[in-house]
């Protein structure tokens, strides 16, 4: 089915410190630098609206024996299969493209979803077509209950059979110590962020002296046999753009796939500039100086375009979110650590699932709230629109 129309009487609440609902979202700044946006507007559907959605869609049939609910489909026909679950906005690093040095205040502990709330929301999402979940943050390894969360999610059955695959994106710090328990709990895959092979650069870029810890995390993931093992790097001009090929060679040596991400305007410091962008095209040009690259067909909804390295079997991925957006194939939704559903990294509205949970919403009502959010998803991230405004949340508080 296509998305249900969004009603206008939704209770609109605003995040702490946010601009009032309906307030202008800020003005763009000339010169390719996006305006710093206000906090997202929080949408809190009324119970009446949710009941209406439940009645008008087959969300109402969720509890009929044998009924398979329609998937979460937006107004453009995009069916949502991939869920990112952020577990915290805190981090052991301070990557310049993500967090400022003096980050905070962080989300209050009592506003974070607990393991059972996460499990419930993910189960509902899986009942409505989600087929894979990725834990992220902030740094997910900072959650003391991570093993419990992984175990709960990995036990969720997919309607078509089998268990929910649970992946994690991490900076790798302390992964070596936690990995045996995480794998035992059912963790299926990891992506580890590694922007540079040079410890001094790493210290500058992340403002922490933890390069060796990240390498230990990568080694642990390789040794335990989690495959495919993926390494993520944000390509940055004048920072690491001279070692892109070295990163690929390192990844191949680790039996891993290197993935380069174009830097997006999501840093909490609002320092992104388009004219600093190292584009996907430029990344490929640099890599082609050392490797023979051939595009792998059949990308589907994956954000990464893949290329075999020197004939394979190893591949390198390029995620050109800014210069070649893949919004038309986007199948992703996000739960923030404080229980807000975001239908896009760049969304200006969030749906307040945490409050609905606290109000005792039923599974059908929570599913209806997810439908309303998906129905309202925009066609694209709009980074190129003249009125683009950077989200108020930094990447660490959204969940990358
Ligand atoms: N802390 C974990 C990590 O770094 O892998 C998980 C959270 S982090 C926000 C998830 C991913 O987002 C990382 O691969 C990181 O490089 C990427 N990221 C963060 N800020 C970004 C930005 N402004 N543009 C593009 N990617 C970004
Ligand atoms: Fe932390 Fe990941 Fe953001 Fe770096 S990118 S500051 S590791 S959340």
Distance 386 CA to ligand 2 centre (A): 28
Residue 281 in domain: yes
- Is the minimum distance from the CB of 137 to ligand 1 under 6 angstroms? yes
Residue count of the chain: 400
How many domains in the chain? 1
Distance 395 CA to ligand 1 centre (A): 7
Distance 98 CA to ligand 1 centre (A): 7
Phi first, then psi, for residue 64 (nearest 5°) are: -70, 140
pLDDT value for 274: 86
For 298, the token pair is: 């059949």
The torsion angle over the Cα atoms of residues 353, 359, 362 and 365, rounded to 10 degrees, is -50
Name the residue at shortest CA distance from atom 2 of ligand 1. Answer: 170
What DSSP line would sit under 283-345, residue for residue? HHHHHHTTS-EEEPS--TT-S-EEEEETTSS-EEEEE-TTTS--GGG--EEEE-TTSEEESST
- Is the minimum distance from the CB of 98 to ligand 1 under 6 angstroms? yes
Residue 1 in domain: no
User: Can you tell me the mean pLDDT for 90-113?
Assistant: 94
Residue 6 in domain: no
pLDDT value for 66: 57
pLDDT value for 58: 58
Ligand at minimal distance from the CA of 141 is 1
Distance 112 CA to ligand 1 centre (A): 20
- Is the minimum distance from the CB of 291 to ligand 1 under 6 angstroms? no
User: Closest ligand 1 atom to the C-alpha of 97?
Assistant: 23
Distance 61 CA to ligand 2 centre (A): 41
- Is the minimum distance from the CB of 346 to ligand 1 under 6 angstroms? no
Looking up tokens 């506003």 gives 111
- Is the minimum distance from the CB of 34 to ligand 1 under 6 angstroms? no
pLDDT value for 38: 61
Closest to 301 (Cα-Cα) out of 319, 275, 284, 281: 319
Distance 247 CA to ligand 1 centre (A): 17
Q: Tens digits of per-residue pLDDT, 217-276?
A: 999 999 999 999 999 999 999 999 999 999 999 999 999 999 999 999 888 777 888 888
Q: Residue 101: exposed, middle, or buried by beta-carbon count in 10 A (0-12, 13-18, 19+)?
A: exposed
pLDDT at residue 340 is higher than 90: yes
Distance 164 CA to ligand 2 centre (A): 25
User: Can you tell me the mean pLDDT for 146-160?
Assistant: 97
Residue 5 in domain: no
Phi first, then psi, for residue 393 (nearest 5°) are: -75, 140
Residue 49 in domain: yes
| Helix segments in 57-167, DSSP class H | 115-127, 146-154
Strands 349-352 and 41-44: parallel
User: Can you tell me the mean pLDDT for 380-384?
Assistant: 86
pLDDT at residue 19 is higher than 70: no
Is the pTM value of this prediction over 0.75?
yes
Say if CB 207 and CB 94 are below 8 A apart.
yes
- Is the minimum distance from the CB of 89 to ligand 1 under 6 angstroms? no
Distance CA 70, CA 152 (A): 24
**Residues in contact with ligand 2 (CB, 6 Å cut-off):** 91, 93-95, 98-99, 137-139, 171, 193, 395-396
Residue 25: pLDDT band by 50, 70, 90 thresholds?
Answer: very low
Residue 4 in domain: no
User: Can you tell me the mean pLDDT for 114-129?
Assistant: 98
- Is the minimum distance from the CB of 136 to ligand 1 under 6 angstroms? yes
Distance CA 204, CA 209 (A): 8
Residue 54 in domain: yes
User: Can you tell me the mean pLDDT for 148-154?
Assistant: 98
What DSSP line would sit under 130-161, residue for residue? --EEEEESS-GGG-TTHHHHHHHHHTPBPTTS
Residue 206 in domain: yes
Mutate to test the pocket of ligand 1, among 173, 193, 319, 322 (most ligand atoms within 8 A of CB): 193
What DSSP line would sit under 234-274, residue for residue? EEBTTTTTTSHHHHHHHHHHTTEEEEEEE--S--TT----G
Query: Residue 167: which CATH number?
Result: 3.20.20.70
pLDDT at residue 75 is higher than 60: yes
Say if CB 86 and CB 136 are below 8 A apart.
yes
| Host domain of residue 76 | 12-398
Ligand at minimal distance from the CA of 213 is 2
pLDDT at residue 23 is higher than 50: no
């Amino acid at each position: 089915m296509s998305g249900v129309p969004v009603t206008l009487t939704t209770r609109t609440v605003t995040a702490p410190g946010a601009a009032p609902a309906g307030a202008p979202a800020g003005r763009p700044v000339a010169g390719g630098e996006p305006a710093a946006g206000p906090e997202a507007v929080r949408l809190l559907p009324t119970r009446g609206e949710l009941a209406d959605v439940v009645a008008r869609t087959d969300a109402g049939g969720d509890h009929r024996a044998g009924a398979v609910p329609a998937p979460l489909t937006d107004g453009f026909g995009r069916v949502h299969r991939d869920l990112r679950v952020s577990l915290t906005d805190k981090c052991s690093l301070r990557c310049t493209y993500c967090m400022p040095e003096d980050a905070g205040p962080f989300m209050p502990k009592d506003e974070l979803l607990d393991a059972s709330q996460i499990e419930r929301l993910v189960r509902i999402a899986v009942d409505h077509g989600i087929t894979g979940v990725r834990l992220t943050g902030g740094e997910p390894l900072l959650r003391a209950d991570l093993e419990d969360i992984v175990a709960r999610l990995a036990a969720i059955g997919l309607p078509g059979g089998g268990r929910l695959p649970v992946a994690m994106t991490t900076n790798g710090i302390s992964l070596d110590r936690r990995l045996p328990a995480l794998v035992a709990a059912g963790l299926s895959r990891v992506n580890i962020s590694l922007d540079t092979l040079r410890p001094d650069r790493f210290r500058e870029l992340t403002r922490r002296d933890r390069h060796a810890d990240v390498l230990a995390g990568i080694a642990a993931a390789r040794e335990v046999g989690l495959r495919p093992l993926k390494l993520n790097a944000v390509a940055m001009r004048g920072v690491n753009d001279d070692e892109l090929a070295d990163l690929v060679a390192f990844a191949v040596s680790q039996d891993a796939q290197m993935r380069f991400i174009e830097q997006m305007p999501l840093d909490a410091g609002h320092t992104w500039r388009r004219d600093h962008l190292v584009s996907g095209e430029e990344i490929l040009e640099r890599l082609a100086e050392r490797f023979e690259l051939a595009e792998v067909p059949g990308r589907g909804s994956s954000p990464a375009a893949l290329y075999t390295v020197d004939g394979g079997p190893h591949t390198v991925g390029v995620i050109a979110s800014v210069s070649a957006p893949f919004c038309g194939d986007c199948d992703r939704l996000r739960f923030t650590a404080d229980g807000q559903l975001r239908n896009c990294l760049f969304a200006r509205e969030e749906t307040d699932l945490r409050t609905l949970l606290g109000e005792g919403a039923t599974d059908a009502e929570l599913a209806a709230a997810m439908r309303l959010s998906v129905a309202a998803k925009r066609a694209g991230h709009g980074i190129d629109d003249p009125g683009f405004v950077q989200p108020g949340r930094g990447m660490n508080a959204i969940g990358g």
